[in-house]
Amino acid sequence: MLASAAFERGDLTGAQSYAHRLPASPARAELLGRIALARGDRIAAANYFIEANDVFGLHDEVARLRSRDLPAAYDLAMRLKERLALNATHPDALADADWQLGRLATQRGYADPASRQAWFAEGLHDYQDAVRLAPTAERYLMAAGSQELNLNDPKNAIQYFQRVVNQNPASADAYAGLGVSQFRLGNVAEARRYERLSRSYDPRSHFLHTLETLLQ
């Protein structure tokens, strides 16, 4: 195809001209998205990727925006979720989109102290959506439990961490999460027990380091 060939050799003007002559299709929209991205026009690229139903292109663009323009990354991630919700082709991708939204909402909370709790609550909602779609996915359960801790609700956090342990009794992170939760509830002896359990499975666990710091 002339448009693709022009794009591959770096002729963005020619590629765009050829692409616009093609009939509307997901392939045309995907190519126009790649051209827009190469030109640095991320808004246009995102719109084309959505038109093309290019889930992977959208995920990549969200990741690129995350460190440069957090609100734009969040808005694009929301559009990705909305598109996926209308299309049953990618059920796992919808759960992952919820998880990504949760991470972005949490990041926005850390960046905006005045609205921190509201963003944390929004992030928890996103994580809970991911858990509903994939109730056995450890990553989503851990995220929801961690967010409950961010919202100062260790009792609810325990429920998520315990679900992880129930299906993966060797999860060092989940034991550490239970330890942090018990520490927040004032149960230091229980927290130390979970600390020992977590360390026995993976002494390099990031969550274990958090628990160890609390117990110092």
One domain, residues 79 and 18: no
One domain, residues 126 and 152: no
Contacts within 8 Å (CB) and 24+ apart, 80-89: 80/50, 80/55, 83/50, 83/53, 83/58, 84/55, 87/53, 89/53
Q: At residue 18, does pLDDT exceed 90?
A: no
Q: Which of 142, 140, 131 is nearest to 165 (CA)?
A: 142
Q: At residue 216, does pLDDT exceed 90?
A: yes
One domain, residues 198 and 140: yes
pLDDT class of 15 with cuts at 50, 70, 90: low
One domain, residues 128 and 68: yes
Burial class of 114 by CB neighbour count within 10 A (0 to 12, 13 to 18, 19+): exposed
- The tens digit of pLDDT for each residue in 74-121 reads 888 888 788 777 766 666 888 988 999 999 999 999 999 999 999 999
What is the secondary structure of 76-129 as a DSSP string?
Answer: HHHHHHHHHHT-TT-HHHHHHHHHHHHHHHHHHHHH-GGGHHHHHHHHHHHHHH
pLDDT class of 42 with cuts at 50, 70, 90: low
Percent of the chain with pLDDT over 70: 89
- The tens digit of pLDDT for each residue in 140-198 reads 999 999 999 999 999 999 999 999 999 999 999 999 999 999 999 999 999 999 999 99
Q: What is the CATH number of the domain that holds 141?
A: 1.25.40.10
Report the distance separating Cα 6 and Cα 61, nearest Å: 23
- Of 85, 110, 134, which residue sits at a domain end? 134
**Domain that includes residue 129, residue range:** 53-134
Lowest-confidence segment of 48-62, 66-80, 82-96 by average pLDDT: 48-62
- Of 134, 160, 194, which residue sits at a domain end? 134
- Of 86, 105, 134, which residue sits at a domain end? 134
Structural domains counted in the chain: 3
One domain, residues 42 and 59: no
One domain, residues 34 and 61: no
pTM for the model stands at 0.78
